[in-house]
Every structure is written in C-alpha cells, then in structure tokens.
Structure 1
Amino acid sequence: MANAASRQRKARPGNESGWVKEHGLLLANIGLFLVFFGGMILSGAAAYSEDQLSHGEPAVTALQYLGTGAFLEATFENWESEFLQMGMYVILTVFLFQKGSSESKPMGRVAPQDKDPRDAPLKEATPWPVRRGGWILKLYEHSLSIMFLLLFVASMALHAIGGSEEYSSEQQSHGQAPVTVLEYLATSRFWFESFQNWQSEFLAVAVLVGASVYLRERGSPESKPVAEPHYQTGA
C-alpha cells in the first residue's frame, strides 16, 4: 500500500503535461499571437523608420514605435474588427440558423445553450453567478457578448486616438492644422480603415458557415463528422 501511494505522489508532477494538454488550444493561440504581434512590431517599426528618414526625420526603435499613433492605429483597427466579428457572431447564433452547418444550433429542438439556468440543479461546481441568481445571473448569461462589446468599443476608441495622432502628423507635414479625436472620427479615412477590416471579418464567417455544410475536417469540432449528411444541422 505504501509503495502504491508513493507511486501516486510521484505521478502527480506529471500533471503539468496534462495541464498543457488541457489548455493546448488557448496556449497555441496565445503563442501564435505573440509571435505575429512581435513580427508586426518589428516590421512596423522598420516601415515607420523608413518613412521618417524619407521625410528627413530620425528613425525609431521598436520600443519608441510602441508610443506612436501609427502603432496604435495599426493595432487597434484590427483588434476592433476581430472583437466586432466575434461579438456579433455570438449574438447572431442565438437567433439565427443555417441548415446543415456545424456552426448553427440544431433546428426543430431545444439546444442545451437555450435552457434556462434558473431551472438547472445547483451543484458545487455550478458557476457562482448561477447560484447567486438575480441581476448577477442576468448579466452572466450575456457576459460573453458584453465582453466582446466592451473590447470592441475600447479598441475603436484607441483606433481613433492613434489614428487622429497619425493623421494630425501628416496634416502638419503638409502645412495643415491637426485634428482632434472627434474630428478624426468624422473623416472618411477613419471609416475606410474600419470598413475594410469589418467586411473581411464577416466574409470569413460567411465562408465558414456555408462551407461547413458541405466540407469536413476530420477531428475538428468546427466540422460535422465526415460521414454525416449535408442536411444535418449543428454538432
């Protein structure tokens, strides 16, 4: 018995690899984000420095580039569109369906996501807001879309701040007056930057929703089982 307990204790540190496996999807995406974000900063600083030198101004380091309006604008105009896409997708999938798509809830029956949490049996592992009830539960049952909305608004505001700084710098280099953040929001440039990103995000979602009716990816939860009929809706 002692030997068995000893083996169990020695096996527990191995749970570290289990933790990595359990969180692999999140860790991989965070890792890819950091790699590509680092590449964006380095290449962005190089491009910004080239533009500076062409105008007779000093180049900047990667650290200095992080404090420029160009960095804020380039970063948050993209983040803004991503958070808008994901937030709208979360909301639209509550009400809308696509027959045959793995991205849609099943049709003709109640999906688990539609069940009222107030009717669920309470357990120790039940999320605290569900056990608490009231307005806290009301917020919690819409917390995913609220989070994306707040991230979208914050990113849009930072896009406007960085964009107005960069736009003002360009204006001044041409002997024109700088603009405020509110004035920049009224420019066609701000909306062009936003719309060019927004349209691509919703195109990608439309392709995924439509393609998942007919195409498969074995092993992916974003796909139906390979042998499942095209008309089968949901996972």
Structure 2
Amino acid sequence: MSAYGILTAILIQKGSSESKDPKAPQRDSDLAAQADKPGAPAILKWGGLWRALYARSLGIALGLLFLVSFVIHWTQSARAVAEDALGHGAIPSTTIQYLFDPQLWFESFQNWQSEFLSTVVLSIFLRQRESPESKAVAAPHQQTGS
C-alpha cells in the first residue's frame, strides 16, 4: 500500500476515483510558505528536512508497516513450516531458506492482489454513496478524481 499511496500522488489513471485530477493545480507547492497558514502542522516550520520527511510521511509509514508485517508473516510462516517438517520427520528449512519458498510468496501476493483489485480496478466502476474514496454515484466512469 506504500507504493499505492506514493504512486497515486504522481500517476494518473483515467476513470479512477483514486487518481488525482490532472487539470487541478498543485496543492502542495511551496510548503515553506504554507507553513504560516492557520492550522498548518507545526512540523512545517521546523525546516526543509522536516518538511520533506513530513510531506512523504504516509508513504514512509505504510512502507514501514509493510516491512514489519512482511517480516512477521515470513518468520512465523517459516516457524510453522519447520514445525510441520519436524512432525513428519523431515529436515526443516531455515528462515532464510523459507524466504525463497514459493508458498510464502503465494500467500503474500494473494493479499496484495486483493488490496489493489478492490481499491484501483473496482473504484472505476463501482460507487459508495457519500464516501470520499468514491466518485459521485452519477459520475461517468471516465471521470478522473473524486
């Protein structure tokens, strides 16, 4: 989802409610000047490095969450497979060896595919009334943005 969050900020998918409007003006240009607006996050006043990190904080947070959840899934799946192998009298694979096991990647890709299918493809054709993640119910499929 980190890649999804980052790529939706820079790429445009015609017809997707998740895509930005290519005709809309940039909203995040000159963050230093926007730091003085009422209600602006205080971190914007801390300097260029902090502004750059904060401006990418959603992508960073989602990337870290992905990494943590993947490592937990990988290590716990490796443990379960090793226990199963021992129970059948086989030699268990190491955690590093399990990283190259097709079963791990099959399970991981199933999760990623369902996330992308539901948020990207279906949002072109389906609607959720009053949801900010959906286009208006009467909006044409070719309309980009919400």
Structure 1-normalised TM-score?
0.56
Deviations 1:152-203 (A, max 9, x none): 1111111111011101111111111222211111212211211222222222
Task: Note closer, same or farther for the CA distance 1:186–1:228 as it changes in structure 2 (3 Å cut).
Answer: closer
Q: Does 1:192 align with 2:106?
A: yes
Please tell me whether the aligned partners of residues 99 and 107 of structure 1 are also in contact (alpha carbons under 8 angstroms). no
Distance 1:219 1:91 in 2: 25
Aligned to 1:103: 18
Q: 1:229 to 1:204 in 2, by over 3 A?
A: closer
Residue number among 130, 138, 144 corresponding to 1:219 in the alignment: 130
Structure 1 contact 216–226 (Cα < 8 Å) conserved: yes
Gap runs ≥5 in structure 2: none
1:233 maps to a residue whose letter is T
1:101 positional shift: 2.9
Structure-2 residue corresponding to 1:159: 73
- Residues 16 and 120 in structure 2, CA contact (< 8 A), matched pair in contact too: no
Query: 1:105–1:111: 8 Å Cα contact kept in structure 2?
Result: no
Secondary structure, counterpart of 2:21 in structure 1: coil
TM-score normalized with structure 2 length: 0.85
Distance 2:2 2:68 in 1: 13
Q: In the TM superposition, what is the alpha-carbon distance from 1:220 to its structure 2 partner?
A: 1.8
Contact 2:74 2:99 in 1 (8 A): yes
Q: How many angstroms apart in 1 are the aligned matches of 2:142 and 2:43? A: 37
Work out the number of aligned pairs and report it. Answer: 146
- Which whole-Å CA distance do the structure 1 matches of 2:91 and 2:79 have between them? 12
For the Cα contact (< 8 Å) 2:15–2:145, is it kept in 1?
yes
> In 2 relative to 1, CA 225–198 (structure 1 residues): closer, same or farther, beyond 3 Å?
closer
Give the structure with the larger helix fraction. 1
Aligned to 2:121: 207
Matches within 5 A, 1:48-127: 86-112=1-27, 114-120=28-34, 122-123=36-37, 125-127=39-41
Q: Cα gap change, 1:218/1:124 in structure 2, threshold over 3 Å: closer, same or farther?
A: closer
The match for 1:136 among 50, 53, 61 is 50
In 1: Cα distance, 2:74 partner to 2:138 partner: 48
Give the root-mean-square deviation of aligned CA atoms. 2.1
Uncovered stretches (5+) of structure 1, i.e. residues with no partner: 1-85
Closer/same/farther in 2, CA of residues 226 and 183 from structure 1, 3 Å limit: closer
2:83 aligned with 1:169: yes
Which deviations, in whole Å up to 9, do the C-alpha atoms of 1:98-132 show, x marking residues without a partner? 223322111223242x4331231514632121011
Q: Larger RCO: Structure 1 or Structure 2 (Cα < 8 Å, ≥ 6 residues apart)? A: 2
Extract structure 1 runs of 4+ deviating beyond 6 A. Answer: none
